[in-house]
Structure 1
């Protein structure tokens, strides 16, 4: 049985109604002194056909926040359809020097930090890094396998792994190297897909690299590449994300729901929890060991076998979420269509440009 919790809204949520070693000529380095404070930037233009409005619509960080990341210094970074923003504890700042090869702004899809404290961004126009106050943009002309980047991560060797619509490559700070994976299937049920698409890359506690693809999961260790797919118990080849729990098990988010990979065996997690098959998106384990995930507009927590659905009010689901995230203060964030939200003391709080941080 699913328990449903209703929450008081602090600000009405905005919900979508529908479910090489040398520096190249394209490598742009600019001081972040060119950043624009948000009060100087233009407000987002809302799509009146797709969104439910509330009073603070023009004060959102962005109408679509794709990802959130808190770095080792405690600084928050937001990846949005309007580029990258950072909150340094005092001001929310737009990083306007992250651009595509034509010099235009980009949608940030993923953010990571390397061992040197450099922040990396994967976006629809390539990848970018911020090293202190220097922004560097990298493109296909620099050796990147594709400018259409969907995920980015760094490993313990300080290699940058980049997942794109055309497969995987890694960057050692000087050169890009392709990493070949078998092709999967094109997902005809979504708007953008390919046989080589990489949805997520994760390094586990043992140093293995996990790739979430349209051909199942690929796990790279020092000497081999292992595939987990339908032959192993998944009911779909379309894997969105894999996380490692504090117990050392792995949870797999797919177009057909959640699965657990434990001691070499894959078992269904959500198959018996819902009356019909539901695909899952973002997934995390919080500091209390609870699992959080979303199914389109629904947000769920799973404690042992106790499943709870979170809604803002009766008939009104939570934010249409791209990512669920727990920060260093153990606060839960939900970012997606409508902006950024936190769940605090029974309330979905909308985090706007100036409050409440």
Structure 2
């Protein structure tokens, strides 16, 4: 297999602050969990055939897929591997992807830092450049255009020139960040492996329910059209209306999305051995017991990142592939042509 050398590309690209590209070395990357035969099969298939943690959209409505063996873009016809020139994807373990407002792409990895791609050249950020940790599992852009990275070393904010890291020393309740979201009032919410909190630009405040108890291990946070905050913690799915928090379901919510009709979709754990894709109907969403439809269930980690595409279909990642639900059928894109199930 022909090897792609990232440093050839990276030496020609510097950002305005004069920061030099750091060459990727095997001292700061893991060998992943895939055998040589699995790796070769994934490369030959030209589709994401490994764990898909997150699914996003770009400005043109293309689907962006962060998988352990590469970040892919799907244009409605075919998949393109966007990271094949960075490093052997077998070693990278990509976890998240984001297109910023300028059209640049950011790739977060399990333990190799963050990559930036402007469509022509790549830039690699690690702890040597100020990133809080080389484990960057979540990427978010705030209203001011800052790029935030949820890492295992705190929340790292990049303003285009340098990093500012927020940790427990600054008031974060835990340095292991799972989720970041800015609400309509400019408040930043953080889900951590410990307690959830929000940041008003001056201080961090631990978020608690009406009984004064905090929420733990929050993996997902969104704001719906009615400005309610939805989040999933170790105890289930919750909704916060700005005054009180309501437990909506005992079902886990690893990922949450609101569709165009106002339905809430989740992926997550039903019990330790079973995960599911679920839809909460908008007509009963704010009732005491909202109606939930289980679209599909499966084994542990079979339902991960989730997205509504422009055509209304629901895309979600799993432990081995990316899938699309069109309202009737789930298509598994593990094969070149996709498989119905």
Same fold (TM over 0.5): yes
**Which range, TM-score by smaller chain?**
0.7 to 0.9
Instruction: Sort the Cα spacing of 1:42 and 1:306 in 2 relative to 1 into closer, same or farther, 3 A.
Output: same
- Pick from 298, 307, 310: which aligns with 1:325? 307
- Pick from 15, 19, 24: which aligns with 2:20? 24
Instruction: Sort the Cα spacing of 1:353 and 1:118 in 2 relative to 1 into closer, same or farther, 3 A.
Output: farther
Matches of 1:177 and 1:106 in 2, distance apart?
24
Aligned pairs for 1:101-116 within 5 A: 105-116=91-102
1:70/1:76 contact within 8 Å kept: yes
2:192 corresponds in structure 1 to 213
- Pick from 52, 58, 67: which aligns with 1:71? 58
2:10 corresponds in structure 1 to none
- Pick from 274, 278, 293: which aligns with 1:308? 293
1:27/1:136 contact within 8 Å kept: no
TM-score by length of 1: 0.74
2:331 is equivalent to residue 349 of structure 1: yes
Matches of 2:52 and 2:137 in 1, distance apart?
14
Deviations 1:217-237 (A, max 9, x none): 221223443220367555642
**RMSD of aligned alpha carbons:** 2.9
Deviations 1:287-308 (A, max 9, x none): 1111111233222211121111
SS in 2 for 1:320: coil
1:267 corresponds in structure 2 to 246
2:104 corresponds in structure 1 to 118
1:169 corresponds in structure 2 to 156
Matches of 1:81 and 1:284 in 2, distance apart?
22
- Pick from 41, 44, 47: which aligns with 2:42? 44
SS in 1 for 2:122: strand
Instruction: Sort the Cα spacing of 1:202 and 1:27 in 2 relative to 1 into closer, same or farther, 3 A.
Output: farther
2:4 corresponds in structure 1 to none
Aligned pairs for 1:147-296 within 5 A: 147-181=134-168, 182=171, 184=173, 195-229=174-208, 236-271=215-250, 278-296=251-269
2:276 corresponds in structure 1 to 298
1:136 corresponds in structure 2 to 123
The structure where strand makes up a greater share of residues is 1
1:331/1:344 contact within 8 Å kept: yes
Aligned residue pairs, count = 294
Deviation (angstroms), 1:43: 1.4
Instruction: Sort the Cα spacing of 1:25 and 1:350 in 2 relative to 1 into closer, same or farther, 3 A.
Output: closer
Matches of 2:73 and 2:335 in 1, distance apart?
11
TM-score by length of 2: 0.77
Matches of 2:189 and 2:109 in 1, distance apart?
20
Matches of 2:214 and 2:160 in 1, distance apart?
38
1:82/1:107 contact within 8 Å kept: yes
Deviation (angstroms), 1:132: 2.1
Deviation (angstroms), 1:309: 1.5
Deviation (angstroms), 1:68: 1.4
Matches of 1:287 and 1:62 in 2, distance apart?
29
Unaligned runs of at least 5 residues, structure 2: 1-14, 25-38, 270-274, 285-289
Matches of 2:54 and 2:86 in 1, distance apart?
16
Matches of 2:62 and 2:135 in 1, distance apart?
26
Deviations 1:294-338 (A, max 9, x none): 2332222111211111237xxx67981111210122210121113
2:312/2:326 contact within 8 Å kept: no
Deviation (angstroms), 1:22: 2.4
SS in 1 for 2:303: strand
More displaced stretch, 336-345 vs 157-166: 336-345
Deviation (angstroms), 1:25: 4.5
